[in-house]
Structure 1
Amino acid sequence: MYDVIVIGGGPTGSSAALFTSKAGKKTLVIDNGKSVTKRAWMDNHYGVDGISGPDMIEIGKKQAVKFGAEWVTGEVTDIKSGDNKHTLITEDGQTYEAAHVVLATGMSVQVAEKAGMKTVPGTEPRIKSIIAVDQQGKTNVEGIWAAGTVAGVSMHTIITAGDGAKVAINLISELNGERYVDHDVLKA
């Protein structure tokens, strides 16, 4: 069983997985390969002097994997919750279990709605529905969190990646029982 399963390997999900895996939480990312970032070029991402979406996604994946995150390709079709765990079922019948789930599914609320999460009208252009979350990123289903565009933040990668990090830090803090901080410093 995983501590955290992240559904979606775009900037939101990769950022969340980077933080959870670096914090020592057993993390799995299930990615369907359909991130809209794969079609993007970013000249507006702070600290990066232009980057293609595919390159950004690959770098994010490498960062998370470096700290122990596992990565599988698949489409999560359902989430069954009970007994303090969540069982994720993929289109090919695979099942994965976790204590916590982070939905980083971009513009798709389909699996969230099927699993009983509350949705509300979208706030961004072309986004019909989003998952209702509190300020921490929690949904109405205990142990399931949502981040990024699906949670109502702007589609810009710098913002969705930051939201994935925010939700991951909140999740890690809850698991640890105290506020989690991750600051690396230059060696003198």
Structure 2
Amino acid sequence: MYDIVIIGAGPAGASAALFTSKAGKRTLLVDNDKSITKRALFWNYLGVMEMTGPDLVETGKKQAVKFGAELIVDQVTHIVKKDQGFVVETKNKGQFEANQVILATGLMVDLAEQLGLETKPGTEPRVKTVLNVDNSGKTNVEGIWAAGVVAGAGFHAIITAGDGAKVAVNVISELNGERYMDHDVLQTK
């Protein structure tokens, strides 16, 4: 069983997977390879002079995998709540069990609606519907979290990446029973 399955590997999902895997949580990152970020060019992403959307998405996936996240490219078709955790069903790769699920599905709310998650109108241009989440990223279904565009965090990649990190830290903190901190320190000579 995975500690966390993250659905969507755009900036929010990859950022969440980076934090959860780096924290030692068994993480599965499921990507359908249809991120809207792949159509972007970034001149406004802190720390990067210029980057294409496809490069940003691939770099995010590689960072998460580097720290232990498992990555599969497939489409999640269904999520089933069990007494303990969830079963995440994919189109081609089978089923995966998880304690927690983070939805980072961008503009797509079909899985969320299938689960009975509460939605509300989006406030960003081109974002019709978002999930109703609290400040930590929790939805109305215990164990299901949301990050990024689908959670109403905005449409800018750097903001959704930060939201993915925030939600991941909140999930990790809940699983650990104490506030999680992740700060790497530059070694002095």
Q: Shorter-chain TM-score category?
A: over 0.9
Go from structure 1 to structure 2 and tell me whether the alpha carbon gap of 1:99 and 1:149 turns closer, same or farther (over 3 Å shift): same
Q: Which residue of 2 aligns with 1:153?
A: 153
User: How many residues align structurally?
Assistant: 188
Output the CA distance in 2 between the equivalents of 1:140 and 1:39: 32
Output the CA distance in 2 between the equivalents of 1:172 and 1:42: 30
Residue identity matched to 2:48: V
Q: Which residue of 2 aligns with 1:10?
A: 10
CA deviations over 1:31-59 (Å, ceiling 9, x no partner): 00000111110001011101001111111
1:25 alignment partner, SS class: coil
| CA contact 2:103–2:145 (8 Å) conserved in 1 | yes
5+ long unaligned stretches in structure 2: none
Shift of 1:161: 0.2
The two structures have a TM-score, normalised by structure 1, of 0.98
Q: Which residue of 2 aligns with 1:82?
A: 82
Shift of 1:115: 1.1
Shift of 1:116: 1.2
2:180 alignment partner, SS class: coil
Shift of 1:72: 0.3
- Give the alignment's Cα RMSD to 1 decimal: 0.8
Shift of 1:24: 0.2
1:30 alignment partner, SS class: strand
| CA contact 2:74–2:93 (8 Å) conserved in 1 | no
Q: Which residue of 2 aligns with 1:126?
A: 126
Output the CA distance in 2 between the equivalents of 1:132 and 1:182: 27
Output the CA distance in 2 between the equivalents of 1:126 and 1:53: 18
2:120 alignment partner, SS class: strand
1:130 alignment partner, SS class: strand
Shift of 1:94: 1.2
The two structures have a TM-score, normalised by structure 2, of 0.98
Question: Structure 1 segments of 4 or more deviating over 3 A?
Answer: none
Shift of 1:184: 0.4
Residue identity matched to 1:134: D
Residue identity matched to 2:64: A
Output the CA distance in 2 between the equivalents of 1:21 and 1:58: 17
Residue identity matched to 1:49: M
Does 2:171 match 1:174? no
Output the CA distance in 1 between the equivalents of 2:93 and 2:113: 19
Residue identity matched to 2:147: A
Which structure 2 residues correspond to residues 4-43 of structure 1 after superposition, within 5 A? 4-43=4-43
Aligned-pair identity (%): 61
Q: Which residue of 2 aligns with 1:115?
A: 115
Q: Which residue of 1 aligns with 2:141?
A: 141
The answer to which of 54-63 and 88-97 deviates more is: 88-97
5+ long unaligned stretches in structure 1: none
Residue identity matched to 1:187: Q
